[in-house]
Amino acid sequence: MSFFHLFFIHVYEVRRASSELWTLNFIENAIRLSALGKKNFLFIGHPDAGQRSAIIYSIVVSCQRHGVNPFDYLQDVLSRLPRMTNQVDIGILTPSKWSLPTT
């Protein structure tokens, strides 16, 4: 038997034994924006702009997953980065550890 056939049998048995309904909606919802913008990303302009856009896009999605407002995050991080002198402090600027500073 092929690997795919054995894998399918295994998945079917696990699915049949499981009382939970498997769904991929969370995955589909996570990639929906990138799937919708796929054709727009083809004509981004300069070849280097595609990589820059991907970086910004991944930061925004990471903020959304951690419940952080992307605009507030980027505004704060981009204002803090020029003043930072130690690379050890960069860890607090990740979306998972970042918090809006109190003024």
What is the pLDDT at residue 24? 66
Closest to 92 (Cα-Cα) out of 103, 70, 76: 76
Does the structure show a pLDDT above 60 at 20?
A: no
Does the pTM surpass 0.85? The reply is no
Model confidence over 30-72: pLDDT tens digits?
777 767 766 666 667 777 777 787 788 888 888 888 899 999 9
What is the pLDDT at residue 22? 58
Three-class SS state of 69: coil
Three-class SS state of 1: coil
Number of helices (H) and strands (E), helices first, in the chain? 5, 0
What is the pLDDT at residue 75? 93
Contact 26, 65 (CB under 8 A): no
- Centroid of chain to Cα 80: 23
Mean predicted lDDT score pLDDT of the chain? 77
What is the pLDDT at residue 71? 93
Tokens of 27: 């995955």
